[in-house]
Chains A and B, each alone.
Chain A
Amino acid sequence: MDENLYNDESKYREIIDLLKGLPKVDTPENFEFNLMTKINNGNFGLNTQTSGFFLSKYLLPATGLAVTLVVLFFVFYEPDSDEVNPFLKEPPVLNELSVATASSPKIVNDVIIAQKSVPSTGKRKNPTIAENRKTVKKKALRVVVKPNDVISKEVVELPIDPSKSISVDEKILEKSHRTSTNIRSELVGGTSNGFGFDGFYIREKIDRKYLQAWKAKLDSIKRARRAHYQTK
């Protein structure tokens, strides 16, 4: 019964006859000669194998996969949103930095009351003295209110680079012996640790009267503050 289901040869009799009537195709005349020559010479390279077989079978799919992976990486990759471009980030303000690093319980006033520095001899006979001078840290006093309402003053080291700052008091009293050549050598030679080139600037001659006027103003403010705190 199964055989009848599939073996429906009578239905396709005409097709079968057409196919049976097709002429037989024979091998070329030199077929055997070529074959035996190949065998005798040991030349067993198959005619139907192409050199591009490996390329088409393995390399092309592998290349396709690699390209797809690269494309998918760029399509689906999201950079970490927490990352901030350092060039777009504003640098912290110096005052904020000093307040943040101070370990006082409560700072009510972070105004610098006085600046003290290690007095320099003004002579450059000994190179170690000059080194010491460079590493001097500027110090400032800070008014701090502790939890028991005791007001105290604390000495705070400020990260001020002496090579880049100027003490107005010293300048007026001519205690500073820095010359323009010193500054230039620091700029070019990079002898200071925190060397940083901020750009060119025009050096102006300092007007002594102008500085004295500013000093008088600052001293007046200082005195007023001191009086204010003393009355409290």
Chain B
Amino acid sequence: MKKELKDLTDEELIEEFQKNNTIEAYEILVKRFKDPLMNYVYRFVGNKDVSSDIVQDTMIKFYLNKDSYKSFAKFSTWIYTIAGNLARNELKRRKRRKIFSLNNNNDDEQSIQIEDKSFLSPDRATDSAISHEIIQKALQKVKPVYREVVVLRDIQGLSYEEIAEVTGLSIGTVKSRINRGRKQLQKLLKDIYKG
């Protein structure tokens, strides 16, 4: 009895898409990965519209370069790698724009100082929406090389091996970067979790 497409694993779906160019297999993979990728890219880049564009570009790249996927790798790490590369390019571009721009007022990352005590009044900090916003702002202040691995590990729940595959780093480097990222984040968020 032939399995339905929706019951296939990611690797089986991509194989189906590669061999028979089955657009339904592609659509199922898009459905499965669009939200996890959006969450990852948003926590990494910090802007919803840009993140949505990056995820869309990731899916287009996946559609156009389906044959570059090799079956020995996990599909999830392959698609995360594409999204991560695009997100990193976006951050580089943003950094370049920041260097050449004379006016950086539009950059909302700079608008809130995390360690500003007057801003973090206890009653406001308890509000979950605000605390989530503060965590997101603090995350954006962590160096991108540390932020990427922290997001992949602590938000997306990927294993160290998967993160090493996505980022192209050794497992040791991944672990040390995760710890450094967490340390930076702890310093930035000490007023929240101690309160």
Residue of A with least CB distance to B157 = A20
Residue of A with least CB distance to B89 = A48
Provide the B10-42 mask, 1 if CB < 8 A to any CB of A, else 0: 000000000000000001001100110011001
Say yes or no for B163: interface residue by CB 8 A criterion: no
Is the Cβ of A35 less than 8 Å from the Cβ of B59?
A: yes
Q: Which of A46-90 contact B (CB under 8 A)?
A: 46-48, 50, 53, 56
- Which residues of chain A are near B172, meaning CB under 8 Å? 2, 6
- Which residues of chain A are near B124, meaning CB under 8 Å? none
Q: Give chain A nearest CB distance to B81 CB in angstroms.
A: 16
Per the bound structure, the CA–CA distance linking A48 and B176 in Å amounts to: 31
Is the Cβ of B185 less than 8 Å from the Cβ of A15?
A: yes
Residue of B with least CB distance to A19 = B154
Which listed residue, B42, B59, B178, B185, touches A25 by the CB 8 Å rule? B42
Per the bound structure, the CA–CA distance linking A27 and B54 in Å amounts to: 11
Is the Cβ of A35 less than 8 Å from the Cβ of B60?
A: yes
Provide the A157-199 mask, 1 if CB < 8 A to any CB of B, else 0: 0000000000000000000000000000000000000000000
Is the Cβ of B35 less than 8 Å from the Cβ of A26?
A: yes
Say yes or no for A39: interface residue by CB 8 A criterion: yes
Q: Give chain A nearest CB distance to B92 CB in angstroms.
A: 10
Residue of B with least CB distance to A50 = B93
Which stretch in B68-76, B102-110, B113-121, B186-194 binds the other chain? B186-194
Is the Cβ of B189 less than 8 Å from the Cβ of A27?
A: no
Q: Which of B122-153 contact A (CB under 8 A)?
A: 132, 135-136, 139, 150-151
Is the Cβ of A6 less than 8 Å from the Cβ of B179?
A: yes
Q: Which of A12-43 contact B (CB under 8 A)?
A: 12, 14-16, 18-28, 31-32, 34-36, 38-39
Pick 12 A–B contacts, CB within 8 A, sort by A: A6-B176, A6-B179, A8-B179, A15-B189, A18-B193, A20-B155, A22-B43, A28-B52, A35-B56, A44-B60, A50-B93, A56-B96
Q: Give chain B nearest CB distance to A90 CB in angstroms.
A: 57
Residue of B with least CB distance to A34 = B56
Is the Cβ of A32 less than 8 Å from the Cβ of B189?
A: no
Q: Give chain B nearest CB distance to A219 CB in angstroms.
A: 90
Say yes or no for B48: interface residue by CB 8 A criterion: yes
Per the bound structure, the CA–CA distance linking A107 and B60 in Å amounts to: 98
Say yes or no for B64: interface residue by CB 8 A criterion: yes
Is the Cβ of B35 less than 8 Å from the Cβ of A48?
A: no
Is the Cβ of A32 less than 8 Å from the Cβ of B53?
A: no
Is the Cβ of B189 less than 8 Å from the Cβ of A48?
A: no
Say yes or no for A7: interface residue by CB 8 A criterion: yes
Is the Cβ of B35 less than 8 Å from the Cβ of A15?
A: no
Per the bound structure, the CA–CA distance linking A31 and B48 in Å amounts to: 12
- Which residues of chain B are near A19, meaning CB under 8 Å? 135, 139, 150-151, 154-155, 185
Is the Cβ of A25 less than 8 Å from the Cβ of B56?
A: no
Say yes or no for B164: interface residue by CB 8 A criterion: no
Per the bound structure, the CA–CA distance linking A42 and B190 in Å amounts to: 50
Say yes or no for B57: interface residue by CB 8 A criterion: yes
Which listed residue, A18, A21, A31, touches B34 by the CB 8 Å rule? A31
Query: A6-B172, A38-B60, A46-B57 in contact; A15/B39 too (CB < 8 A)?
Result: no
- Which residues of chain B are near A18, meaning CB under 8 Å? 135, 189, 192-193
Is the Cβ of B93 less than 8 Å from the Cβ of A39?
A: no
